[in-house]
Amino acid sequence: MTAVAPLLLRGGIVGGRRQDIAIRDGRIEHVGAGLDAGGAETLDVSDRLVLPGFVESHIHPDKAYIADRTRGLSAGGPTPQTLVAELKRSFTVDDVYARARRVLEAAVRHGCTTMRAHVEIDEFVELRGVEALRRLQGDFAGVLDLELIAFAQEGIFRDRVTKDLLREALKAGLKTLGGCPYMDDDQRAHIDWFFETAQAFGVPLDFHADSGDDPAHLTTEYIAEQTIARGMQDRVTLGHLCMLDVLDPPHRARVIGRIRDAGIHVISLPATELHVKARADVRRTWRGVTRIGELRDAGVNVSISTNNIVNPFTPYGHPDLLRQALITAMAAHLGNLDQLAWLPELFTTNPARALGLTGYGLAPGCRADLVVLDAHDAAQAITEQSEKLYVLKAGRVVARNTRTSGLSLPRRG
C-alpha cells in the first residue's frame, strides 16, 4: 500500500478539550493545542467531537438484506432462525459477497473501522459464506479490519457435518469460534465441545447465549465456570444475555459477579432484542435487552453492536452504531445526560478490548482510526444522530459525509 501523507486535525474536541491531532505513518503522533502542521495537510474540525473508530463486535453480514425473500415475525409464527435456515440453501458465494459488501460499505460510511462478523457454517450454507467473507477481508484491507467468527447458528448436534466444517474454517484461518448453545437440546454438551475445540485451535470463543426468558435454561454460570477452569479468562464473549433481565435481583447480582470474575465480555444487541423478543406476551411486553448499566457498574466489559441488517431478526437493522447508541439509551434506561456521555464507550473502547485490539484509542502512538462527528459532545451526537463528517482508517480519510438542509424561516417579530 502507498504511504499515507501526514495529516493534522485542527481544533477537534478530544477527551473533552479542544485539541489538535497530528497523524503520521497511519498513527497518532501528537495530541495537543496549537500543534505545528509542519507542511501536513490540515483538516479543520473545530469544535467537532473526535472519537476513536467505531467497532462492530457482533454482526451478521452473510444473512443481511434478505427480508424481502421471506416474511416477517408474528406471535406464534416461525422463529427468525427457521425463516433464515430455509433461505440459506440458496445462498451462493456471489450472493453472500454482494449483500455482505453492502453491509461493509454502509458500516464504513457510518464510522466503523473494525468489525468482527459471524459467518454461518452448517449443512445449509456449508463454507460458502466463509469464502465470500474472506474475499471481502482482502478487498477491504486498509479500509476496514474484518475479523471472522466460525459460527454455528444451527447448533452442532442436529446434523453430521457442522463440527467438521467449523474445524475446517478454523484451519483456513478464521480467528474465533462461535457457538449457540440454545440451538441444541444439550446445551452443556454444546458448550463443552466449543471449549475443547477452541483450546485445541488456540482461538477465543464467542457464544450467542441465554437469549430466552426461561431461567431454567441459563448457561452463563456454566460458561463462566468453564472459562475459569480452562484458563480462558478475557478470551470468552457472550452475546445477547437477555435472560439476565428476568432473574431475581440477588441471582442476577451473583451471575454478574461470575461474569466479571471470569473476565467474560458481554455484547448487547438491543435492536434485535426489541424486534424479536416477547412476541407472545399479551401484557407488560418484555424488552429482552440485557442489564447493560448493572453489568457496567459491576466492572464487566460490556458493548453494544448492530447484529442484524434487514432480515427477519431485524428488518430495519442498519450498521450504524450511533443509531444503536440511541436505541440503547431508550431501551436500557441509559438516557440521562451523564449516561449519554459514556455510551460511546460501548461501541469504541469496550468492544476494542473484547476483540483484543492493540494500539486503539486517541493517545499518541495509537493507530489513527478516527471518527469526527458534527457535534460538540456525545449527548448531542446521540440525540441528534449527528453526521460523521470524516472517518479515518490508519490516518487516511475513508469516508466524508455531509448533510444539507434548507429552511425558510419567518423573520423575528
Which parts of this chain interact with Zn ion (CB under 5 A)? 307
Query: 44 vs 148, 368, 384, CA distance in Å?
Result: 36, 16, 21
Residue 307 or residue 349: which is nearer to Zn ion going by CB? 307
Q: Nearer Cβ to Zn ion, position 307 or 311?
A: 307
What minimum distance in Å lies between the beta carbon of 348 and Zn ion? 20
**Residue 129, helix vs strand vs coil:** helix
Q: CA 307 to CA 310: how far, in whole Å?
A: 10
Q: Least distance (Å) from Zn ion to the CB of residue 139? A: 23
| Residues 284, 348 contacting (CB under 8 angstroms) | no
Nearer to Zn ion, 162 or 307 (CB): 307
Shortest CB 118 distance to Zn ion, Å? 6
Minimum CB–partner distance for residue 275 and Zn ion (Å): 13
Could you tell me the smallest distance in angstroms from the CB atom of residue 154 to Zn ion? 13
205-209, strands of its sheet edge to edge: 54-59, 112-120, 145-151, 176-179, 205-209, 236-240, 265-268, 302-304
User: Least distance (Å) from Zn ion to the CB of residue 137?
Assistant: 19
Residue closer to Zn ion, measured from CB, 133 or 368 = 133
Q: Which is nearer to Zn ion, 269 or 300 (CB)?
A: 269
> CB of 115 within 8 A of CB of 55?
yes
Minimum distance, C-beta of residue 240 to Zn ion, in the bound complex (Å): 7
C-beta closer to Zn ion: residue 211 or 348: 211
Residue 142 falls in which region: left (phi positive, over 0), alpha (psi -120 to 50) or beta: left
If the CB atoms of residues 31 and 177 are measured against Zn ion, the closer one turns out to be 177
**Please, which residue, 114 or 307, has the CB nearer to Zn ion?**
307
Which is nearer to Zn ion, 124 or 390 (by Cβ)? Answer: 124
Rounded to the nearest whole angstrom, what is the least distance from the CB of residue 153 to Zn ion in the complex?
A: 8
How many residues appear in the chain?
A: 413
Beta-bridged to residue 54, according to DSSP, are: 112
Report how far residue 81's alpha carbon sits from residue 128's, in angstroms, rounded to the nearest whole number: 18
Q: Give the nearest distance from C-beta 122 to Zn ion in angstroms.
A: 14
β-pairing verdict for 302-304 and 265-268: parallel
Q: Are 87 and 69 in contact (CB under 8 A)?
A: yes
Contacts of 290 (CB under 8 A, 6+ apart): 240, 241, 242, 244, 245, 266, 268, 273
Three-state secondary structure string covering 355-410: CCCCCCCCCCCCECCEEEECCCCHHHHHHHCCCEEEEEECCEEEEECCCCCCCCCC
Q: Within 10 Å of residue 378's Cβ, how many Cβ atoms?
A: 24
Count of other CB atoms within 10 angstroms of residue 195:
19
Return the residue nearest Zn ion (CB atom): 307
